[in-house]
């Protein structure tokens, strides 16, 4: 648990190819409400070998719609 006003840094190595993904809570029955309250975001997984893929980041603006 992270205290109010606190922070936590997490580091991991994804085991999948480059992709645009999103993170969100998985509390059964509460996910929709929590996502609507802003508990979600984007993660860009880059792959050095596929950096020039068609979906590669072409601008600094990302938008996530629900």
pLDDT at site 22: 87
The whole-number pLDDT of residue 16 equals 84
Q: Average pLDDT for consecutive 10-residue bins of the chain (66 residues)? A: 91 83 86 88 78 60 70
Best CA proximity match to 17, nearest among 37, 45, 57: 45
Alpha-carbon span 42 to 63, nearest angstrom: 9
The residues that bridge with 43 in the sheet, in sequence order, are: 21
| Whole-structure pTM value | 0.54
Compute the distance between CA of residue 7 and CA of residue 16 in angstroms, rounded to an integer.
27
Tokens matching residue 63: 């938008």
Residue for token pair 């509460």? 30
């Amino acid at each position: 648990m992270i205290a109010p006003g606190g922070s936590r840094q997490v580091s991991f190595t994804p085991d999948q190819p480059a992709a645009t993904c999103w993170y969100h809570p998985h509390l059964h029955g509460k996910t929709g409400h929590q996502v609507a309250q802003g508990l979600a975001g984007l993660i860009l997984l880059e792959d050095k070998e596929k950096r020039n893929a068609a979906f590669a980041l072409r601008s600094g603006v990302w938008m996530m719609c629900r």
